[in-house]
């Protein structure tokens, strides 16, 4: 059971103390408190753990300072949607709202290669009114001999250029807890206002120790990608690892499934799951058409498969798009064949706008 407290009641108020004293006297029940400071208000939730089945909801509801009570099911306790659950389906980070009602495009480089390419990308984003991007510094690769990313060496110029071009949030994959420290340090040193969304890739979806560590920090929101060879339920539980440790600023990413049915695409596109994840949980849902489709091939009408897949995901209600662009895909050090050209960005964004309009007309 979750008691959602009235935002007006502070933790040093008499009402709050009375509530805690009452809860301490309930036999066999322990409490866990989650407080989140948002841009609009502070949200405090008190989780009652133990045998709560016998507790009458009405009694809990009538306690001073309790705004409403949520009786939670076992599944996805923190991030899930439960009966009578009015908790928010959005969060704000660095001036950008991420929610089940919004849509943010993160076009950018799969892997940072040169400073010049980063600058060309960010300039194009600024010129097209974009404030988010993706920039890969730490790249998990199949072969140990492939380019592994520039790591912390590229962070200073990535963050400085992001500040220069007004980029507010960069999605950046991390594969180890030390990367979080390196990002924090580089952000501090460059001293600009750019934010980072930590990305946990499909190879680490069930790296539970990493999830717990990332879940314990509240500085950065997290984009958790679905595991490519596990069930949706297993991936949603992985997201719950982040939230149960304290960080519920989680976006869930669909990036295609590995299957022998995917041919000719790199992965089997799973964007029909967008509304499913939104129905089961309160997380915004991201689509990654680049890693799902994996190549530029075009239909006879000349529409690229990646662009088609993006439209499908947006019409299904996607809230975030992670998509690879590159100034010279032939020179990209990672995943060049799936990168769109920078000059294609305006048309891509226009296509997204049309698909979003279509989604809004349907709901």
Residues at the contact surface with ligand PEP, assessed by CB under 6 A: 110, 136, 173, 201-203, 225, 255, 288, 291
Compute the least distance from the CB of residue 79 to ligand PEP, in Å.
20
> Which residue, 106 or 165, has its beta carbon nearer to ligand PEP?
106
> Which residue, 91 or 138, has its beta carbon nearer to ligand PEP?
138
Calculate the CA 272 to chain-centre distance. 18
Q: What is the distance between the alpha carbons of residues 239 and 280, in angstroms, rounded to a whole number? A: 12
> Which residue, 270 or 288, has its beta carbon nearer to ligand PEP?
288
- Residue 343, C-beta contacts closer than 8 angstroms, at least 6 positions apart: none
> Which residue, 142 or 260, has its beta carbon nearer to ligand PEP?
142
Tokens of 204: 């680490």
> Which residue, 136 or 289, has its beta carbon nearer to ligand PEP?
136
Strand partners, 170: 133, 196
Compute the least distance from the CB of residue 99 to ligand PEP, in Å.
22
User: What is the separation, in whole angstroms, between the first and last Cα of the chain?
Assistant: 31
Strand partners, 135: 109
Asked if the bond preceding 264 is cis, omega within 30° of 0, the reply is yes
Q: What is the distance between the alpha carbons of residues 359 and 279, in angstroms, rounded to a whole number? A: 16
Compute the least distance from the CB of residue 256 to ligand PEP, in Å.
8
Phi, psi of 85 (to 5 degrees): -100, 105
Calculate the CA 197 to chain-centre distance. 7
Q: What is the distance between the alpha carbons of residues 183 and 222, in angstroms, rounded to a whole number? A: 14
Compute the least distance from the CB of residue 157 to ligand PEP, in Å.
19
Nearest to 274 by CA among 260, 259, 288: 288
Return the H-helix or E-strand segment holding 237.
Answer: helix 232-244
> Which residue, 48 or 111, has its beta carbon nearer to ligand PEP?
111
Compute the least distance from the CB of residue 92 to ligand PEP, in Å.
24
∠ CA(13), CA(14), CA(18), 5° rounding?
Answer: 120
> Which residue, 31 or 114, has its beta carbon nearer to ligand PEP?
114
Nearest to 285 by CA among 249, 311, 240, 254: 254
> Which residue, 202 or 247, has its beta carbon nearer to ligand PEP?
202
> Which residue, 3 or 223, has its beta carbon nearer to ligand PEP?
223
Provide Rg for the chain, Cα atoms.
21
> Which residue, 152 or 203, has its beta carbon nearer to ligand PEP?
203
Compute the least distance from the CB of residue 330 to ligand PEP, in Å.
19
Phi, psi of 45 (to 5 degrees): -120, 135
Instruction: Tell how strand 42-50 and strand 29-37 pair up.
Output: antiparallel
Nearest to 111 by CA among 151, 166, 144, 142: 151
Nearest to 224 by CA among 247, 204, 244, 195: 204
Compute the least distance from the CB of residue 199 to ligand PEP, in Å.
6
């Amino acid at each position: 059971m979750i008691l959602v407290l009235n935002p007006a009641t502070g933790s040093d108020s008499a009402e709050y103390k009375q509530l805690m004293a009452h809860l301490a006297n309930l036999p066999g029940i322990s409490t866990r408190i989650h407080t989140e400071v948002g841009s609009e208000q502070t949200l405090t939730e008190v989780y009652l753990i133990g045998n709560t089945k016998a507790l009458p909801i009405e009694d809990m509801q009538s306690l001073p300072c309790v705004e409403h009570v949520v009786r939670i099911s076992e599944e996805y306790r923190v991030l899930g949607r439960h009966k009578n659950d009015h908790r928010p389906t959005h969060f704000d980070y660095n001036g950008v709202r991420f929610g089940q009602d919004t849509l943010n495009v993160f076009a950018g480089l799969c892997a940072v290669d040169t400073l010049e390419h980063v600058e060309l990308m960010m300039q194009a984003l600024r010129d097209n009114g974009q404030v988010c991007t993706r920039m890969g510094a730490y790249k998990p690769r199949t072969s140990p001999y492939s380019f592994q990313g520039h790591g912390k060496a590229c962070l200073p110029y990535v963050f400085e250029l992001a500040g220069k071009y007004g980029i507010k949030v960069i999605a950046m994959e991390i594969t180890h807890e030390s990367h979080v420290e390196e990002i924090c340090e580089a952000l501090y040193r460059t001293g600009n206002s750019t934010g980072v969304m930590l990305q946990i890739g499909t190879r680490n979806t069930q790296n539970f120790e990493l999830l717990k560590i990332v879940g314990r920090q509240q500085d950065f929101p997290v984009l958790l990608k679905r595991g490519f060879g596990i069930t949706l339920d297993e991936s949603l539980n992985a997201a719950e690892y982040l939230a149960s440790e304290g960080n519920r600023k989680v976006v869930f990413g669909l990036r295609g499934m590995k299957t022998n049915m995917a041919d000719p695409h790199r992965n089997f596109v799973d964007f029909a799951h967008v509304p499913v994840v939104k129905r089961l949980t309160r997380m915004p849902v991201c689509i990654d058409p680049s890693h799902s489709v994996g190549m530029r091939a075009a239909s006879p009408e000349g529409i690229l498969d990646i662009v088609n897949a993006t439209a499908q995901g947006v019409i299904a209600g996607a809230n975030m798009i992670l998509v690879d662009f590159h100034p010279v895909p032939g020179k990209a050090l990672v995943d060049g064949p799936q990168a769109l050209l920078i000059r294609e960005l305006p048309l891509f964004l226009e296509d997204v706008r049309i698909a979003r309009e279509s989604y809004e007309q349907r709901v």
